[in-house]
Structure 1
Amino acid sequence: MTLKQPARMSLAEQVAHQMDSMIRTGKWPVGTRIPPEPELVNQLGVSRNTVREAVRALVHTGMLETRQGDGTYVSSSSDLGAALQRRCKRSNIVETLEVRSALEQEAARLAALRRTEEDVEEMLRWLRASDAAETIEQYIDADMKLHQSIIRAADNSILTELYEHMTEAIHRSIGETVERMIFSPASERFVAHKKIHKEMVEAIIDREPEAATQAVRAHIEASQQAMLRQEQGGSA
């Protein structure tokens, strides 16, 4: 990695700009630890103080996160994403479900119009994985990946990026909804939850945007009802 030098920027700003580029292009993926300080100093040919200042700047934006005794990790692929992640952490499950409803209905509609055979294979892969799940954790993971595959099939880069930045909040909403359905007095609600997923994927495969949108709406409404029943003490 060689330091590029945009004009009219301090050395620390140049280093921060270079690190920002490494993150945005995926060379430093979200969740990974960046090279240690001595390695960055050698790679970029700058002082420790310059590297530290650049890291602090990206920590401030939320793109990097320092972990005491463990190093510095990439926490977001953009400063906008970091801001959205911070906002999502302050949201409740009801708000998250409402935003999911808006994003996922449009994603399903677009996916039904634009999906490729590769998209279909990926959706079916995670649909089968959810059916085969033996634990709640396995089911939640497959469920999350199924929704992400539908988002990608919509072939809209802004929609995909927005959804990715909401991953933590969405994962939390899926987890809480599934757990409440599984432990609900009426276990058929969980069976219905899985059935809606199948209908959603089938509508996308059959290129039926209206049916796909309706399936997503039914899915989110079922999740909202599960949350409401829990608040009311599990009554039907």
Structure 2
Amino acid sequence: MTPSGHSPPVPPRGRRVSETIEQLRGRILGGEWPLGGRIPTEPQLVAALGVGRNTVREAVRALVHAGVLECRQGSGTYVVSTDELAPVVARRLTDDRMAEVVEVRRAFEVEAARLAALRRTEEDLTALDAALAERETAWRDGRFEEFVEADARLHVVVVAAAHNTMLAELYASVGTAMRASVAQASGSLEPERYTDHSRLVAAIHAGDPERAAHEAGAFLEHQAGA
């Protein structure tokens, strides 16, 4: 026990920095600081986290180096990724590797769809329906960039419905690559490149894991042949 009137021992500096990095990462993953948003200023972080300026500075610098944060002169520090893997994947993304991207997506998305059919909640189903409707509206209105984002969002919702945290985190790391593959497969929203996702959502609604996995694999086969 700590004697009365004495402060608890101060953790070693390296441990304080590591703990602060984990706190920052937790707030990013928890959505408190969304992708593309600006994080609080250094004084605000000092007050919120209860650590010194140097500790905050080192923790932020580590996440900048990892590609999670980006410092913009005169503007602030922004969230540019949800994890350290995403920048690595993005750097490896080239047109001649797009077939590999589709294969990686298949590895994640087929299993995610199967698990989603088994584990989805009513909230998941509501989110799936909303994401599908947004995707269809963007396609119908010919809004290419919004369609790519809406399509990506639908797949993220499917993965979230699988309720596997590690799968969701790994899938987030291929977000840039996923959007690139969707954009390539869709062309300029050419009618012959349309891929129906309603059967996938219906299979998850029905709680049919085999059909959900089949539908997820089917549209990725379509993309691979686009």
- Deviation of 1:209 after TM superposition, in Å, equals 1.3
Structure 2 distance, partners of 1:153, 1:6, is 42
Structure 2 distance, partners of 1:88, 1:152, is 22
Report the counterpart of residue 142 of structure 1 in structure 2.
150
Report the counterpart of residue 126 of structure 2 in structure 1.
121
Structure 1 distance, partners of 2:150, 2:9, is 44
Deviates more, 1:93-102 or 1:14-23: 14-23
- Deviation of 1:35 after TM superposition, in Å, equals 2.3
CA separation of 1:39/1:120 partners in 2, compared to 1, >3 Å: closer, same or farther? closer
- Deviation of 1:19 after TM superposition, in Å, equals 4.5
TM-superposition CA deviations, 1:16-64 (whole Å, max 9, x none): 63253033133434332222334445665735x5543443233223332
Percent identity (aligned):
40
Deviates more, 1:97-106 or 1:17-26: 17-26
Taking structure 2 as the reference length, the TM-score comes to 0.80
Structure 1 distance, partners of 2:154, 2:121, is 15
Q: How many residues align?
A: 209
CA separation of 1:42/1:213 partners in 2, compared to 1, >3 Å: closer, same or farther? closer
Taking structure 1 as the reference length, the TM-score comes to 0.77
Report the counterpart of residue 233 of structure 1 in structure 2.
none
Report the counterpart of residue 4 of structure 2 in structure 1.
none
Structure 1 distance, partners of 2:73, 2:121, is 44
- Deviation of 1:136 after TM superposition, in Å, equals 1.6
Q: Secondary structure at the match of 2:77?
A: strand
Structure 1 distance, partners of 2:65, 2:103, is 29
Deviates more, 1:62-71 or 1:203-212: 62-71
Counterpart of 1:210, as a letter, is: E
Task: Considering Cα pairs closer than 8 Å and 6+ residues apart, tell me whether 1 or 2 has the greater RCO.
Answer: 2
CA separation of 1:62/1:17 partners in 2, compared to 1, >3 Å: closer, same or farther? farther
- Deviation of 1:221 after TM superposition, in Å, equals 0.9
Structure 2 distance, partners of 1:76, 1:127, is 24
CA separation of 1:130/1:18 partners in 2, compared to 1, >3 Å: closer, same or farther? same
Contact 1:113 1:209 in 2 (8 A): yes
CA separation of 1:209/1:5 partners in 2, compared to 1, >3 Å: closer, same or farther? farther
The answer to whether the aligner puts 1:222 opposite 2:222 as a matched pair is yes
Q: Secondary structure at the match of 2:81?
A: coil
Report the counterpart of residue 5 of structure 2 in structure 1.
none
Structure 2 distance, partners of 1:5, 1:33, is 33
Contact 2:46 2:56 in 1 (8 A): yes
Contact 1:85 1:166 in 2 (8 A): no
Q: Secondary structure at the match of 1:35?
A: coil
The answer to whether the aligner puts 1:99 opposite 2:107 as a matched pair is no
